[in-house]
Amino acid sequence: MKNLILLSALLMLTITAVAQTPQATPVNSTEVEALIKKQPKMVILDVRTPDEFKAGHVKGAININIHDADALERIGKLDKKATYLVYCRTKNRSGVAVNHMLQNGFTNVYQMMDGMAGWMQNGLSTVQ
C-alpha cells in the first residue's frame, strides 16, 4: 500500500512538472508569413551555418550558427521576453536551439517544423 501511495505521488509530481514545462509552438512554413504580419516585432532566428544563411534566408532573420562553440551562450543573451521564430534546414538544429531557449526562461517561441526545406518547397521568398 505504501508503495502504491509513493508511486501515485511520484506520478502526480511528474505530471505537474511536465505540465509546467514551457513548450514551443510548432508552425509550418506556410503559416510563417501570416505570423510575421501578426507579430511584426517577432525575432526571426536562423540557426543554420553562415553559408546556408547567405544562400537564402527569411527576410529579417538573424543568424546564430548552432554549431558555433558559443551559440547557446549567444542565444541565452537574447531578450527572454521577446517572441521568437526559430528555424534551420529541417527541424533538428532548431530543436536544439528551441529546447535551450525553453530551459532558460524563453516563453514565446515558435519553431518552423518544415524549416527552409519546406519554405523553399512551398516557393516562399528568401533574401540573400
Task: Please check whether residue 85 is in contact with residue 36, taking contact to mean a CB–CB distance below 8 angstroms.
Answer: yes
Residue at 118: amino acid letter: G
Q: Per the residue annotation, which of 66, 88, 98, 116 is the catalytic one?
A: 88
The Cα 113–Cα 128 span in angstroms is 22
Helix, strand, coil % over all residues of the chain, rounded to 5? 45, 15, 35
Catalytic annotation present for 120: no
Task: Please check whether residue 32 is in contact with residue 58, taking contact to mean a CB–CB distance below 8 angstroms.
Answer: yes
Q: What is the per-residue burial (b if ≥16 Cβ within 10 Å, else e) of 51-60?
A: ebbeeebbee
Could you give the residue numbers annotated as active site?
Answer: 88
